[in-house]
Structure 1
Amino acid sequence: MTSSKPVLSNEREVFMDILRGFAIFGILIANLTAGGLGWGPNSEVESQFLLPHLDKQLDFVYTIFIEGKFYSIFSLLFGWGISLQIKRGETSGNQSIGIVKRRLMFMLLLGAVHMLIWPGDIVLFYAILGFFLLPFRRFSNKTLVITGMVLILSPIILYAAKIVWPWVNIPADILRSAGQYTDQYFFGPINEDDADAWVHSTSWWDFFLYNISGFFYRFGYLFFVSRIPKVLGMFLLGYVLGRSDFLKIFIRIKRSFIGL
């Protein structure tokens, strides 16, 4: 059994760490709106300082510049990181795929627990797609780039297909129905108008049970907005960047220009 050791400081890709921190900060900003779940327009936290007359304009800025942008960067870095782990293992003679699979399994378990606290979790989602990424490592960089671009652009066709053929959205509908059934199984019918107040007044145990249905709602949403192919596509592009030593080549070219 091969051992998995922490990466030494001189082996770390500082540029990747900076980008990863930037992406995580962006994801935090993107989740602030969802973090206010349960605080409606009549809530005691509403005040004159929240600039309600700018809500539509700020929502537009949020949608264009924040939502969907930072998770794309993080997805790219995720695929990049997996490729570096595999290369590092091959260089040291370890069975790197086994190490990566164990780490993905740990991510999956961590994400499952985290989803009981926060239904917007991405760790579980990334771990699942990470397993789908591994078989692609056998293909050439050209094939991965083409496949990645097709997956990233596929939502354009999928959105049109959902308008023409509603049955394309059946997976999302099934998951949403499963979430509603789970809620009713644990708590009986819940009035949507009273759901926010219920979340803030219930016990932690009931809150965890309530978030079990969040798993179905979450993945139903991911199917509905076609985020699954987009994220997997970014994984593939990131994997190519890592496998082709893009960063080292970029730094070498940069130093050459500086030396001119």
Structure 2
Amino acid sequence: MSVLSAIRAPGVVGRVNPVAKLLAALVLGVVLLLSIDWVSAGTALVLEALLLPWAGLSLRQLVTRTAPLWVAAPASVVATALYGRDDGAVLLHLGFVSVTEGSLSLAGAIGLRILAVGIPGIVLFATTDPTDLADGLSQVLRLPSRFVLGGLAGLRLVGLFMDDWRQLALARRARGVADAGGPIGALRRFGQQAFALLVLSVRRGSKLATAMEAKGFGSDAPRTWARPSTFGARDVTLVALGVVIAAAAVTAAVLAGTWEFVLA
């Protein structure tokens, strides 16, 4: 079986080395942030959509995990359309708000770019085990073990935030803590729980750091790894696909005459 046909297997992205997924997403992100045109972002988004079946995520999982993007992208489009560029013909003018052809073009480019940059990053974390990522960063990229293990511990703690939030809400309810109704009460309740979660996270992080240091995780001595992390042909293929998508996006924008370097 060829490497390309192997990578097409359902859920195969989850078996690719996390370093390869990180590099592919990084290449796409950097290239898409070099311009603010809609052609490059649209091209990258279409090509990414064609590759999504390889991630092995169901439609429900994909929609659930990318839900923040479907909120952020429309909000950014509306805000940019109302307060973006003033060039081009004026399509709508309401007091201090003006919608022009330039602002609409910029709004579309930003909305598409949020999706094109965000979706690969979400798929990366949705199909990656934090321990595998730490193994790859240490064994493939040769990053310092202290940095990698500390980051791994932090990623493991992130998954506890929702459980902690629910426990704090239940504890408040059990104690009969009363809050004023309406938006003000909801905002106050959110602020109190967020502060309690911050205090809990700082305490837990401090205890974890002390425990890891006591067990020698911060030592500079050579470290062995329970699971080897290899970088093979499938991983190279995924990185190459990321480069191809980025190159196709830039080429399409240049040929369409819409490429607009952000630093120009």
TM-score when normalising by structure 1: 0.28
Answer 1 or 2: which has greater helix percent.
1
The structure, 1 or 2, with the larger RCO (C-alpha pairs under 8 Å, 6+ apart) is 2
Structure with larger Rg: 2
